[in-house]
Amino acid sequence: MPKGKAKYLPIPAIFIDVVLLFNAFLTADYLVFGGTFPDPVFYYWLFLGWVVLWISIALFYKLFDLPRILYLDKIVAKTVFTVGVFAMVSASLIYLVTDYKFSKSFFVTAILLFGSMLVMWHSMLAVMFKAYRKSGHNFKNVAIVGFKQPVERLINEVLLKPENGFLISGIYTDEKLPSSMHDFHKGTEDSLIKSDLTSELDELFIALPGEQSELINAYMRFADKHMIRVHILPNFSSYLNQNFAMDYVYNVPLLKLRKEPLESLSNRIAKRLFDLLFAIIVLLLIASWLFPLLAILIKAGSKGPVFFKQLRSGRDDKAFYCYKFRTMAVNQDADSRMATQGDARVTKLGSFLRRSSLDELPQFINVLFDEMSVVGPRPHMLQHTDKYQESVDKYMVRHYAKPGITGMAQINGYRGEIKKKEDIENRAKADVWYIENWSVFLDIKIIFRTVWQVFFTKEENAF
């Protein structure tokens, strides 16, 4: 089931930043020039450049990320630092790009006004968000396995403070708990695996000694299978068998089971903007003329609809309708049986569309609807998700990201018919690696390799 509660939407925050920049720009104009720019065209272009530059720098420094633990002083310091970088980069570009005698008074006034308004706005946003969490929104359900002194400190200083947005579902330990925490005790250290709370949990904190490495590994597999994010209070020498991400919460060290770049709000914004830009370009330049042509050929070649839609597993295991050009004759097995080599259901045109991957083009519509990304784990049929989540290690982890039109598994040849368990295991490993190592540059690399394979290589599994 999908995890998480109401999430902070970044687009209004970006819009308000731009409004504040516009307000600072006009106020500086009034204070320095009396409300009339000496060269309106130059200053209008300057404002547009500032908007693009500010959004780019703010995304780079993750200014729109609101961490689970909000420290007002850190937010103010980060905002001031980002405005400082913006001012230096802006001044350098103005000096290098133009010979125009630009007003230094206007520049300093606009930057100071913008910085002041931005600090007040981001501070107010943090205070509002703390109040929002205190009222019971944007919370995460957490469970704790094991108990030792750092756990008690973590609970008292972080998890029990309502402004941090945590709800303790239970503590599972064989140790004696302080009287103040008796109500949270739900069972022994191994009893959570046997419980039915998995659909309610968002995060799991593990505080078991290294001697219990077998149980720790069991919990990590358990968490992956049920899409529960893991934090470990480390004594990890006996079970450090993969890359972990170190985190600190109130000076308590935590090991996250994996690094997820797309957990960053700024990275998700950057990926979404890239997806939208790429999808719009494809739909305008290619789909606008190719879709009608393919629609005519599909209708002429066999009876049935032009498009084929099927429920697939999306991000957080949420089902959505995935669109493709129809490549098969209409049949009752389309939603239950994958295409195989020499499949009689595939039409002549459909065979060409599948080999060339042109049948996937309608999924750019899914990208516009924010159901898919250009790059990500390929979406599987619901019955495959049900089948493989129990038998394939880390299979459900691939659902932490939005599914993609192409992905790391596809460019490495892991596509087409699943003949043996190793085929799906290789896909899962490639997809999890992508989630742990995502970057915009990685997406661009995968897109280029996909285009190269479509035009210049012959895929044995493309049928």
The CA distance from 381 to 362, in Å, is 17
Instruction: Compute the average pLDDT of residues 310-331.
Output: 92
pTM: 0.74
Rounded CA separation 270/62 (Å)? 10
Please say if the pLDDT value at position 349 is more than 50.
Answer: yes
Distance separating alpha carbons of residues 129 and 9, to the nearest angstrom: 12
- Distance from C-alpha of 457 to C-alpha of 220, rounded to nearest angstrom: 39
pLDDT score, position 235: 63
What angle is formed at CA 11 by the lines to CA 7 and CA 17, rounded to 5 degrees? 120
Q: Beta-carbon neighbour count of residue 28 at 10 Å?
A: 22
CA distance 47 to 420: 58
DSSP states along 310-353: EEEE-GGG-EEEEEEE--B---TTTTT----TT-TTB-HHHHHH
Q: Is 272 helix (H, G, I), strand (E, B) or coil?
A: helix
Rounded Cα gap, residues 8 and 226, in angstroms: 24
User: Which helix (DSSP H) or strand (DSSP E) does residue 144 occupy?
Assistant: strand 140-145
Show the tokens assigned to 206: 């593990």
State the angle between helix axes of 265-282 and 440-456 in degrees (0 to 180), rounded to the nearest 10: 30
Cα–Cα distances in angstroms (integers) from residue 335 to residues 308, 332, 339, 380, 381, in the given order: 10, 7, 11, 11, 8
Pick the more confident residue, 150 or 207.
207
Going by pLDDT thresholds of 50, 70 and 90, the confidence category of residue 69 is: confident
Domains of the chain from N-terminus onward: 10-134 (no CATH), 140-259 (3.40.50), 265-456 (no CATH)
427-438 mean pLDDT: 94
Q: Where are the beta strands (DSSP E) in 12-97?
A: none
Query: pLDDT category, 242, cuts 50, 70, 90?
Result: low
Secondary structure string (H, E, C) spanning the chain: CCCCCCCCCHHHHHHHHHHHHHHHHHHHHHHHHCCCCCCHHHHHHHHHHHHHHHHHHHHHCCCCCCCCCCCHHHHHHHHHHHHHHHHHHHHHHHHHHCCCCCCHHHHHHHHHHHHHHHHHHHHHHHHHHHHHHHCCCCCEEEEEECCCHHHHHHHHHHHCCHHHCEEEEEEECCCCCCHHHHHHEEECCCCCCCCCCCCCCCEEEECCCHHHHHHHHHHHHHHHHCCCEEEECCCCCCCCCCCCEEEEECCEEEEECCCCHHHCHHHHHHHHHHHHHHHHHHHHHHHHHHHHHHHHHHHHHCCCCCEEEEEEECHHHCEEEEEEECCECCCCCCCCCCCCCCCCCECHHHHHHHHHCHHHCCHHHHHHCCCCEEECCCCCEHHHHHHHHHHCCCHHHHHHCCCEEECHHHHCCCCCCCCCHHHHHHHHHHHHHHHHHCCHHHHHHHHHHHHHHHHHCCCCCCC
- Those residues whose C-beta lies under 8 Å from the C-beta of residue 352, and which sit 6 or more positions away, are 358
Instruction: Label residue 4 by pLDDT band (50, 70, 90).
Output: very low
CA geometry: angle at 285 spanning 271 and 458, to 5°? 80
pLDDT band at 14 (very low <50, low <70, confident <90, very high): confident
What average pLDDT score do residues 169-192 get? 90
Each residue of 21-60: pLDDT tens digit?
Answer: 999 999 999 999 998 888 888 889 999 999 999 999 998 8
- Please determine, for residue 240, whether its predicted confidence score (pLDDT) is greater than 60: no
Instruction: Classify burial at 201, counting beta carbons within 10 Å of its beta carbon; exposed 0-12, middle 13-18, buried 19 or more.
Output: buried
338 pLDDT tier (thresholds 50, 70, 90): confident
- DSSP E strand boundaries for 150-228: 166-172, 185-187, 203-206
Regarding predicted confidence, which is higher, 239 or 227? 227
| pLDDT exceeds 90 at position 133 | no
pLDDT recorded at residue 329: 86
Q: What is the pLDDT of residues 364-398, one digit of tens each?
A: 999 999 999 999 999 999 988 999 998 898 899 99
pLDDT tens profile 350-359: 888 888 889 9
Q: What does the block give as tokens for 264? A: 């960053």
